[in-house]
Amino acid sequence: MLPWRFLHPRMWAFNARNTFHTLIDTLQGAPPRALRARDYVARHATPGDADSVLAALDRYAIEERWLMSVGPEKGPLLSEMIGRLPDGARVLELGAYCGYSAIMICQRLAPPGNLVSVEVSSQNAEATRDNVAAAGFADRVDVRVGSSSDEIPKLQGPFDLVFLDHWKDLYKTDLQLLEKHGLLRPGSIVVADNTGDLFSPHAYVDYVRTCGRYDSESREASIEYYSHLPDAVEVSVYRGPDAP
């Protein structure tokens, strides 16, 4: 992602707050943000109550430190897509962070459906495992630690839905890797977060709209926990490898 995107005037308040908090945390030698969010959940959420875990993460993101979780405004769109899946569906997520989206997916995913979540940061993966367990979904989420390019070839497919929410510049190459390894089936839904102008992975959006293998549309959204900052989510349905 190009750094200048963060210099857009709309991003100034967002940047100022996050830069200030990051500076304080660095000076204080604070643990990684995801682990602090995990500890906040442990103190404030009710074990086994997924709604209370999500509410604790929302409260932490608003009152303490911003979290790049899908959040309560975009979350319902993800839930809507999960709701379209058949019973026993398999879901893949690239970018787990604190486990917020994993919990939201499991809430809507009909049993025995399950989720594989690939996360490059071992600390984020630890936070995800603990938060998912706190929400009561430990047996339905398989968290894999590693880079997406290393982990994708090891996966068994196909997946009925893929949620892309990791490093935006990897969206296109990782989607092509999923295709190459046969991890999508005709009808698989690919949901890509943060495809609006501020973060836009243009190469990815161009690819899903023009390669002929997807029926793709953009859904309006806002940056997580910043409802005045416009964003978008790209929803693409795979037509198959031989689609024109």
Which residues does the annotation mark as catalytic? 165, 168, 193-194, 224
Maximal C-alpha separation, the chain? 56
CB of 165 to Ca ion, least distance (A): 4
Site string for Ca ion, 140-179 (x = CB under 5 A): -------------------------x--------------
CA distances from 204 to 36, 37, 210 (A): 32, 30, 10
CB of 235 to Ca ion, least distance (A): 14
CB of 95 to Ca ion, least distance (A): 7
* Chain centre distance of CA 205: 17
What is the phi/psi pair of residue 243, to 5°? -60, 145
Q: According to CB under 5 A, which residues from 193 to 222 bind Ca ion?
A: 193-194
| Spatial separation of the C-alpha atoms in residues 135 and 76, rounded to whole Å | 18
Residue 119 contacts Ca ion per CB under 5 A = no
- Cβ-based nearer residue to Ca ion, 116 or 233: 233
The piece of 147-155, 156-164, 189-197, 207-215 that touches Ca ion (CB under 5 A) is 189-197
Sign of CA dihedral 138, 180, 234, 111: negative
CB 79, CB 108: distance < 8 Å: yes
* Interface contacts to Ca ion, rule CB under 5 A: 165, 193-194
